[in-house]
Amino acid sequence: MHVAIWIAQHTLSASISLTLDALQLANQCAGRTLFTLRRVSNDGLPVALDWCQMPVDGALPSAADADLLLIPAIGARPERVIAAQSQLIDWLRQTADSPQQRASLCSGAFLLAAAGQFDGHRATTHWRLAEQLRQNFPAVQVCADALYCADGQRFSSAGAQAMLDLCLHLIARQGGSALAQQVADLLVFDYGRGSQQRFGSLLPATAHDQPVLAQAQQYLQQHYAQPLALEQLAATCHCSTRTLLRLFRQHLNMTPGAYQQRLRVAAAQSLLRQGQMSLEHIAEQVGYQERASLAKVFKQLTGQTPAQYRRHD
């Protein structure tokens, strides 16, 4: 399979290197070339990423003969990248009738969606961006809980290590599930794991189309462990408390306090997954003075006690 990976200044280097490493490792384990890899940029020139100058093998049109075109992650503000990448989007639209398979990693789904590549198809992205993808592109069947989607000639992965889930799926298609398992073992990765639901079911997406609300959400995401002072939050967002409450009710169907509680429980879930930190310490870390306070809210929002969540995770 000939794979072309599109690279631009906005793409995240980790998603590029992770994909290249996994597919090259599959070639090594198979003892033959299952994947021929090519990096392309819009103009064929090297791309300056955050920490390096990424060489490429050609310009975007040279990817036309690839079996699979892969769009890496583009960060947490995909709307900005869409506005800057009209050349890619136009090319994708012009070649939409091609039999070429097309795939996205994490937020890269927004670029394929903007070009109509996911219309009528199932697709996924990072759980924090799933609702934004659904709202911006209603023709896409967004599967918010999926780690990856394979729908005909279209593929997509959720965020972070879910990129590996998609890579392993592609490896299994080319070389069989035993090879995919071998690659997963070498990468110390759980092949065939479940969904991303546990990471995102508590939290609504950041409302990027509502700047004041998005600012409030981002502030709470950074300060969830601190006591909530509604007046201070409103002042930070340069609005009245009445406006802030209205925005939360209208777009998130909850109060700022309820949103903060969900942030705290999501943080507690993460700490519970990481190891054997005591519940008292976890409660303190996420902003509760007592273990019982965390346990009560945790049970209300998840249907489980923290101890049950830790055992079943």
| 258 domain-assigned | yes
| pLDDT number for residue 178 | 82
Q: Do 287 and 224 contact (CB within 8 A), yes or no?
A: yes
- Dihedral sign computed on CA atoms, order 278, 284, 287, 289: positive
Judge whether 203 lies within some domain. Answer: no
Candidates 243, 11, 245, 263; CA nearest to 128 is: 263
Query: Do 230 and 125 fall into the same domain?
Result: no
* Predicted local confidence at residue 206, as pLDDT: 67
Instruction: Specify if 232 maps to a domain.
Output: yes
> Domain boundary residue among 175, 197, 219?
197
HEC assignment per residue over 145-161? CCCEEEECCEEEECCCC
Give the CATH number, domain containing residue 112.
3.40.50.880
The pLDDT averaged over each successive group of 10 residues in the chain (313 residues) is 97 93 96 97 94 93 98 94 97 96 98 98 92 94 87 93 92 89 87 58 71 90 90 95 95 92 88 82 93 93 84 64
Examine residue 202 and state whether it is found in any structural domain, yes or no: no
Question: Within this chain, do residues 29 and 170 fall inside the same structural domain, yes or no?
Answer: yes
Would you say residue 297 lies in a domain?
yes
206, part of any domain: no
In a domain, 250, yes or no: yes
Q: Rounded CA gap, 8 and 1, in Å?
A: 23
Q: Which domain holds residue 62?
A: 2-197
Question: What is the b/e burial string over 126-137, where b = at least 16 CB atoms within 10 angstroms of the residue's CB?
Answer: bbbbbbbbbebb
Q: 44 φ, ψ to 5°?
A: 85, 5
- For the chain, the domain total comes to 2
Same structural domain, 49 and 147 = yes
Residues 26, 31, 34, 36: is their CA dihedral positive or negative? positive
Q: What is the CATH number of the domain that holds 237?
A: 1.10.10.60
**How far is 58 from 34, CA to CA, in rounded Å?**
21
234, 175: one domain: no
Residue 87, in any domain of the structure: yes
Does 284 share its domain with 169? no
The span from the CA of 42 to the CA of 28, in Å, is 30
Assessment of whether the complete model's pTM goes beyond 0.75: no
Q: What is the pLDDT of residue 195?
A: 52
Q: Are residues 234 and 258 in the same domain?
A: yes
